[in-house]
Amino acid sequence: MTSTDQQALHLALELARSPALARAIRDRPLPSGVLTLIRIAAGSHKPLSDATRLTGEDAEAVKAAAELFLQQNLLQANGNHYRTLGVSATASRETLAEHVRWLMKWLHPDRDRAAWDSAFSQRVLDAWHELKDPERRARYDRSLSATSVAPMARRPRQQRRWLKSRLRRVAITGKSGDRIRRSQVLIALLVFTAGTTIVLLSDEIIPPLIVRFFRIGHD
């Protein structure tokens, strides 16, 4: 795993430790190494093994942190197609295809996944449909309005400084904080999925990551 790939990994672990970072991370461009997180979420052994060795975290914690990061930073309903696929707007078709392939390995509905993941997989397919064809992609690019990074002005000054310092530490050092506990990831998942869970309760959909952590047991 290259030092570039490590940026997304450490940021994912930092997000699991500190849920308050979520909006600040979403307001910024995706970090380098998102494909590594996608491969980890999809169950690829090599990047997961590298990540556990690099961070000292256990495999379940790393995989859950990767999935949490992807759910919150790629698959939000208001994200554009490029962000959904975890790529920049200048990504080649080959890069788009590789990201789609690994995302679908993670989310594919034929893997007996919950409807929660099936909804995410449809967003990936919609993004791929729009971007794989040069003409459709050109039209889509023209339709994207130029938006500036949303400021954090509404947050208290002390909190803004804290958020920026946490993000800066990961960006500069490539390292996150102390070791993560499974309970921390569970709390983050509960916080992030609460709104969506309420919307989906009529369909009796339970976020699969939460179920998975209850099956794992306590720390």
Quick: pLDDT tens for 10-69: 999 999 988 778 888 888 889 999 999 999 999 999 999 999 999 999 999 999 999 999
Pair 59, 48: CB distance under 8 Å: yes
Q: Which of 77, 63, 124, 79 is nearest to 99 (CA)?
A: 124
147 in a domain, yes or no? no
146 in a domain, yes or no? no
172 in a domain, yes or no? yes
The predicted model scores a pTM of 0.70
Which of 10-14, 145-149, 157-161, 192-196 has maximum average pLDDT?
A: 10-14
30, 123, 126, 195 from 74: Cα distances, Å: 9, 10, 13, 17
126 in a domain, yes or no? yes
10 in a domain, yes or no? yes
- Banded pLDDT at 201 (limits 50, 70, 90): very low
* CA distance linking residue 108 with residue 124, whole number of Å: 10
Structure tokens at 88: 């920049």
Q: In terms of pLDDT, which residue wins out, 170 or 48? A: 48
114 in a domain, yes or no? yes
Q: How far is Cα of residue 23 from the mean position of the Cα atoms in its chain?
A: 12
Statement: residue 203 has pLDDT above 50: no
Q: How far is Cα of residue 55 from the mean position of the Cα atoms in its chain?
A: 18
**Count of beta carbons in the 10 Å neighbourhood of residue 129:** 11
Statement: residue 206 has pLDDT above 50: no
Report the percent of the chain where pLDDT is more than 90: 45
pLDDT, position 46: 96
Which residues are CB-contacts of 84 (< 8 A; sequence separation ≥ 6)?
A: 74, 75, 123, 124, 126, 127
| Number of domains making up the chain | 1
Domain enclosing residue 79, as ranges: 3-141+152-216
62 in a domain, yes or no? yes
Which of 83-87, 119-123, 149-153 has maximum average pLDDT?
A: 83-87
Which residues are CB-contacts of 23 (< 8 A; sequence separation ≥ 6)?
A: 152
pLDDT, position 114: 54
Only one residue has tokens 């430790």, namely 17
For the ranges 2-11, 47-56, 164-173, the lowest mean pLDDT is seen at: 164-173
12 in a domain, yes or no? yes
* CA distance linking residue 63 with residue 59, whole number of Å: 6
* CA distance linking residue 42 with residue 48, whole number of Å: 10
CA atoms within 13 A on the CB side of 30: 27
pLDDT digits (tens, 9 = 90+) for 99-144: 999 999 998 766 555 555 677 888 999 999 999 999 999 999 999 8
Q: What is the mean pLDDT of the chain?
A: 74
